[in-house]
Amino acid sequence: MIDLIKKQIKLQTRIVAVKAAKKKRATARSHLSLSKRGQFNPPPFNPPFWLSNPHLQTILPKFVAPQAPKYRREILRDSLNESDVAYDFYDAHPVDNTDDKIETTPLVVLFHGMEGSSDSHYARVLAHQMHAEGWHFVVAHFRSCGGVPAKGRVFYNAGDTAEIHHMLQTLRQHYQNIYAVGVSLGGNALAKYMGEYADDAQCEAAVVVSAPVDMSSAAVSMHRFVSHKIYTPYLLNPIIKKALLNEISEEEIEAIKSVDRISDFDTIFTAPRHGYRSNTDYYYRSSALPHLGDVAHPMLLISAKDDPFIGFTATANDVSDQVTILDTKHGGHIGYLRYQPKAAKTTRNGAAKPSTKEGKFDINWIPETVSAYFKSVGIDEAAHSS
């Protein structure tokens, strides 16, 4: 009985502390929105002409990404308490996650794309950049991803903002300053979440990269010849294998085996499994675009005009004044591959000496831009004021 009372007192103390911290963050955001917004100067993305092809930009980054860091994995329950999900942390320093400890060093949370994980090229490069900034980093995996199978009826979908909210609330128990990044499908889910939850969104700011915020036009883009032939098998085959391992009927099995388009899979599996009437209903109700006018926390929306996947993108008239739109001419889908030529050496008389070494590819533009944006909205100041 005494132990139970102690636990209740500790819980109440924790609730009071979290509410006070939330109020303090809201005040800090208000101040920062006045004093810091407008100072965001993103690094330009200007690939050489021979690297500007959107398909090169989309495909090649997987081959030049750095090695994944040594993550610290935690397995926690999903929002439905049906499946285990994986959280892969790359800590800036050792973290004390006991019940009465709140970490004030900022945490950057990544919501990955379709069939992504902490091993995806964008996750690896973001992990290293956030660590270099002195911030914590975590990949919050959706159900069935990161090598942890789903145990319930549902997997994940582009409009599951309840799962996003649950993940951020789970992390909020131990981290006071949370910033979020969403990529592709995870980017649409995060952007929709930021609009739906508005002031109640459990992160100080967000960056959304290569997100299909209009799911219907994105589905049409995926039906185009090149996208259908090159990208669809890469994205579709893994999720079909997962679906076939689930408890499904013989009719579903035969139907799933015959699909060759993501929209067909959404009709047979994604929509009915997640409470949508059809794939059209799924795309309509899951799209972030109608919710962007309600975003209440700072959010950066990054899209490449040559992205082969995402369809229609947001314009200034579609978003709230908390949203910054950054459209680039090139970049493909989660690409942003750069080439840094080797600098020529000079001789004693000042003449250029040809270099015998090759230049270097990198995919650091996205993490550099993410860092610059979070700094512009006060990530460091928020941590120091905690």
The 8-class DSSP code of residue 277 comes to S
Of all helices (H) and strands (E), which one includes residue 190? helix 185-197
d(CA 167, CA 190): 11
Residue 330: active-site member? no
Place of tokens 């899951």: 286
Instruction: Kindly report the number of other CB atoms within 10 A of residue 356's CB atom.
Output: 7
Task: With H, G, I as helix, E, B as strand and everything else as coil, classify residue 96.
Answer: coil
* Residue 342 CA to its chain's centroid (Å): 32
Residue 307: active-site member? yes
Compute CA distances 227 → 55, 100, 195, 332, whole Å.
9, 50, 29, 12
d(CA 329, CA 304): 6
Q: Residue 84: which of 143, 17, 172 has the closest Cα?
A: 143
Place of tokens 């650091």: 364
Q: Residue 222: which of 277, 182, 259 has the closest Cα?
A: 259
Catalytic residue among 128, 141, 291, 333: 333
Catalytic residue among 78, 160, 266, 307: 307
Q: Residue 284: which of 156, 192, 206, 183 has the closest Cα?
A: 192
The 8-class DSSP code of residue 175 comes to B
Task: With H, G, I as helix, E, B as strand and everything else as coil, classify residue 178.
Answer: strand
Catalytic residue among 184, 216, 221, 287: 184
Task: With H, G, I as helix, E, B as strand and everything else as coil, classify residue 154.
Answer: coil
C-beta separation of 244 from 268 below 8 A: no
Of all helices (H) and strands (E), which one includes residue 47? none
Angle of helix 365-376 versus helix 121-132 axis, rounded to 10: 50
230: Cβ contacts below 8 Å, ≥ 6 apart: 55, 59
d(CA 264, CA 233): 13
Annotated active-site positions, please? 184, 307, 333
